[in-house]
Amino acid sequence: MRVWFLSAALTLMCIAQSATAGTLLIVGDSISAGFGLDTRLGWVSLLEQRLKQQGYDDKVVNASISGDTSAGGLARLPALLAAHKPDVVILELGGNDGLRGQPPAQLQQNLASMIDQSRAAGAKVLLLGMQIPPNYGVRYTTAFAKVYSDLAQEKKVALVPFFLEGIGGHPDLMQADGVHPAVPAQEKLLNNVWPVLKPLL
């Protein structure tokens, strides 16, 4: 009888865990796709490991594509939301918009639409902020960075102000191209995200 009760209790615990397990959808560019790296060493893989280590059963879907822009992410998002039904959507886009000199207003509009669609699908949203190198000019770099803080305030979404905080500008943490974070930077990327992501889980 005692064995039966123990077995039943364990079964109920497993059911409860499954019921609370969610899905994290990451829609990003090369930084989240692990460009130039063994993807097993990228920050998204490290996130999956940390979730397990801390007792979360959440599934991570990495829908990041190297070279993608906010317009590309916006075009892909409806199908991703329908297929994966995420509980949390992490938006890591904009770097390629900036490197191509696209208007910050267009970036803001695209990200705003992605936030609205994600919420309409029942997901919480985490926005990962980006910055552009100073050689693009003060006016443009300021307007670009402001997109993320303005959106976070307007839409009331969680924000990591600068995803590459403590990484950009440090050659030892960057790949030879000076654009993509190297392996030693991947845990730092995760540590920039984790304190803001954890309350959303």
Q: Which domains does the chain have, with CATH numbers?
A: 22-200 (3.40.50.1110)
The Cα 13–Cα 19 span in angstroms is: 10
The SS3 call for residue 74 is: helix
The Cα 176–Cα 139 span in angstroms is: 28
Task: Determine whether 87 is an active site residue.
Answer: no
Asked whether residue 176 carries a pLDDT value surpassing 60, the answer given is yes
Tell me how far CA of residue 123 lies from CA of 8, 45, 82, 166, 176, in angstroms. 32, 21, 12, 29, 37
According to the model, what pLDDT value does residue 88 have?
A: 98
Task: Determine whether 113 is an active site residue.
Answer: no
pTM score, whole prediction: 0.90
pLDDT, one tens digit per residue, over 118-135 is 999 999 999 999 999 899
Q: For the beta carbon of residue 59, count every other beta carbon within 10 angstroms.
A: 15
Task: Determine whether 30 is an active site residue.
Answer: yes
Residue type, 59: K
The alpha carbon of residue 201 and the mean position of all alpha carbons in its chain are separated, in whole angstroms, by: 13
According to the model, what pLDDT value does residue 168 have?
A: 87
CA atoms within 13 A on the CB side of 131: 18
Q: Burial code of 78-89, b = ≥16 C-beta within 10 A, e = fewer?
A: eebbeebebbbb
Asked whether residue 1 carries a pLDDT value surpassing 80, the answer given is no
Among 7, 18, 30, 84, the one annotated catalytic:
30
According to the model, what pLDDT value does residue 3 have?
A: 45
The residue-averaged pLDDT of 60-78 equals: 98
According to the model, what pLDDT value does residue 13 have?
A: 46
The residue-averaged pLDDT of 159-178 equals: 95
According to the model, what pLDDT value does residue 20 have?
A: 63
The SS3 call for residue 192 is: helix
The Cα 38–Cα 61 span in angstroms is: 17
The Cα 98–Cα 7 span in angstroms is: 56
DSSP code, position 157: -
